[in-house]
Structure 1
């Protein structure tokens, strides 16, 4: 079995772990967004806070679906690119 296919199958390939630069940028943006959210939440009464959190939970539940589709499309594009190289 090819080395890369074996590593992929065994879970040894983890592009997410190699995203150090993007993760640093993400961490900075996350801190800023957290501050913004905290300031916004302080302006809401308890009922509005609960409603806001329910809305956030629904948005967050969609994110993995979006990531999955982006991964699939990116993978397919990579395969098509490799196929074109051998034409």
Structure 2
């Protein structure tokens, strides 16, 4: 099956690919999780709600940013492909 058909039928999902872990990545994730847990325990109702809203907004911004990177990467790859046929 062609790549375009695979994409059309939903068999290609780059957003579901797990980030390859390495020590530096794992170290930063650990710091995030530990601090998030500590803050969740110590914050009161209103503060906890604001913190959760901050996390949700940050996650949404990161998702939108990753989408833009994906689109730019796709466009760049397409330009490489076009250059291949033009040369």
Tell me which moved more, 66-75 or 47-56: 47-56
C-alpha distance in 2 between matches for 1:74 and 1:52:
33
C-alpha distance in 1 between matches for 2:17 and 2:46:
41
**Equivalent residue, structure 2, for 1:80:** 79
- 5 Å matches for 1:3-82? 3-16=2-15, 19=18, 22-25=19-22, 28=26, 29-82=28-81
- Cα deviation digits, residues 29-67 of structure 1 (max 9, x gap): 434311121123344333222222222222222233222
Unmatched runs of 5 consecutive residues or more in structure 1: none
SS in 1 for 2:21: helix
Task: Give the alignment's TM-score, normalised by structure 1.
Answer: 0.68
Unmatched runs of 5 consecutive residues or more in structure 2: none
C-alpha distance in 2 between matches for 1:57 and 1:14:
23
Task: Give the alignment's TM-score, normalised by structure 2.
Answer: 0.68
**Does the C-alpha gap of structure 1 residues 15 and 54 become closer, same or farther in structure 2, counting only changes over 3 Å?**
closer
Extract structure 1 runs of 4+ deviating beyond 4 A. Answer: 16-19
